[in-house]
Amino acid sequence: MTSQMTTPMTTQATMEGTVALVTGGSRGIGAATAVRLARAGADVAFTYVRDKDAADEVAGRIRALGRRALALRADSADAREAVEAVTRAAEGLGGLDVLVNNAGVGLLGPLESYSLADIDRVLAVNVRGVFLASQAAAGRMARGGRIITIGSCMTQRVPGAGGTLYTTGKSALVGLTKALARELGERGITANIVHPGPVDTDMNPADGPYAGGQAALTAVGRFGTAEEVAGAVVYLAGAEAGYVTGAEFSVDGGHAA
């Protein structure tokens, strides 16, 4: 295991020598997390599906911080690719200490509007892909490993209609996280979940047509930033969070208050 998990944290390069994999790391919360992990000292692999230019830009930002970067084309909806991404990250960067399950798809609409293909796609990415990546990563992690999953504020409060499918998938991740914490705890591997509220990304911009209503549901009256969510993830990935496992962290501006 690398030195980060056994030495006290410092203000500089607190994760020096560790290797992290962020799924869905070419944009939004995933990109912010990948860069923030690199700033803390980690070498970072991340997956993307379509936008190679965006992936190259994130990899460049990581390398500019003096860390190794590995951009992996992998679709979490594909069971084989979800597992192979873990293998490729570990082999390409020489191990795996941190997995951030960030890749996800959002599909909102009336209950009767969902086709079987819709259901299969959302659950394949948001649940099965997370399970398989976590399973593969746990098999490679030494003591002190970290599994961090991005959930949703809608697992704690569903403010209106239209989120049945999305909430079903994200809620499953709460159970998965708690079960992983129990199963892996004796090995010194932690598992936690972060629930973002409305966050300003290209998928859900703070100036979008539905932004006003979403912001009004928070206690602070605004969207969060991807960097604010990434900060919580990096804390959970670090040495100081060694006694935190099976926990749900809300970074939601008081959406669930």
| Confidence (pLDDT) at 253 | 95
d(CA 103, CA 149): 9
Give yes or no for residue 44 having a pLDDT over 90.
yes
- Show the domains of the chain with their CATH numbers: 14-250 (3.40.50.720)
CA geometry: angle 72, 79, 99, nearest 5 deg: 55
**pLDDT confidence of 73, banded at 50, 70, 90?**
very high
d(CA 131, CA 61): 29
Give residue-wise pLDDT tens across range 7-27: 333 334 589 999 999 999 999
Give residue-wise pLDDT tens across range 101-143: 999 998 889 999 999 999 999 999 999 999 999 999 999 999 9
Question: What is the enclosing helix (H) or strand (E) of 147?
Answer: strand 146-150
Q: What is the pTM of this model?
A: 0.92
Give yes or no for residue 233 having a pLDDT over 90.
yes
- Our measurement of the distance from residue 59's CA atom to the centroid of its chain's CA atoms, rounded to an integer in Å, reads 17
How many other C-beta atoms lie within 10 A of the C-beta of residue 16? 16
Give yes or no for residue 33 having a pLDDT over 70.
yes
Would you say 254 and 201 are in contact if contact means Cβ atoms under 8 Å apart? no
Give yes or no for residue 4 having a pLDDT over 50.
no
Give yes or no for residue 1 having a pLDDT over 70.
no
| Confidence (pLDDT) at 106 | 87
pLDDT-wise least confident of 6-15, 88-97, 174-183: 6-15
| Confidence (pLDDT) at 5 | 42
**pLDDT confidence of 160, banded at 50, 70, 90?**
confident
Catalytic residues: 166
Largest CA distance in the chain: 53
Locate 33 and state its tokens: 């997390």
| Confidence (pLDDT) at 231 | 97
Locate 151 and state its tokens: 């959930």
